[in-house]
Amino acid sequence: MRRLACVALLLAARAALGGTVDARDYDAFWLWAGVKPQPVVSGARTVYVLLGQIEASPRDDSQVRVIAQGVALPRAPNARVWLVYRAHTLRWTPRVSQIMLAQLERWRASGRTIAGIQIDFDARTRHLQDYVEFLRTLRQTLPAECRLSITGLLDWSSRIDTDQVNQLRGIVDEVVVQTYQGRSTIPDYAAYLPRVARLALPFRIGVIQGGDWDAPPYLAANPWFRGYVVFLRNG
């Protein structure tokens, strides 16, 4: 345990040096559809793997479906796994929840260490309260031992009162704030970070492989900061 803690501190120190994001300096990764497996995943401590996209039918928004993504998880013997769902709508039907819970049970039965479910949803400012209510309902649907993670947009910190985001405490177990858009780092990401650091719930910073990152010194000292997640991409 002590050795693992030392390794984690070393990785955090290397990541904090800044510059271009080198996946070898990190130990938590997102695995997305269409991205080729990378050797760095074998040493991961945490992996977020995309299982499905949830979207409404273009002809009838009351018809919501789960589209499987087919992302294969490479060998990562020491990794805790988060099952990720990319949500394009919050109007989930009971069938959507049933599919998600069945997949959760299958992954648990596979012998993997499953941390929980992550919802990737771009909640805009005017819809944040609806999102909070959606997450509260989802939390009640999940097994008590299943943790709940969400992604957060970097501009939440400037467009939304921090107290609004902090309503999520007690509903979600972590927020991963993304410092990139598409496949590139947001140019002025550093300007948002002081307000991100005011979050009073566990949070991680999401960075993109090959992108820019220069960690501010106050981040590592923040008691709510839980580290980084790298969005892997093809070279």
Under 8 Å between Cβ of 51 and 83: yes
| CATH value at residue 60 | 3.20.20.80
**Would you say 201 and 169 are in contact if contact means Cβ atoms under 8 Å apart?**
yes
User: What distance separates the 2 farthest-apart alpha carbons in the chain?
Assistant: 56
CA atoms within 13 A on the CB side of 169: 12
> Per-residue pLDDT for the chain (235 aa), expressed as one digit of tens each?
444 444 444 454 455 456 899 999 999 999 998 899 899 999 999 999 999 999 988 877 778 999 998 777 888 889 999 999 999 999 999 999 999 999 999 999 999 999 999 999 987 656 778 888 999 999 999 999 999 999 988 877 666 666 777 788 889 999 999 999 988 999 999 999 998 898 899 999 999 999 999 999 999 999 999 999 999 999 7
| CA 79/CA 136 separation, integer angstroms | 27
Q: How many Å separate Cα 3 from the centre of its chain?
A: 26
Which pTM does this prediction carry?
0.89
Domain encompassing residue 53 = 2-231
The tally of domains found in the chain comes to: 1
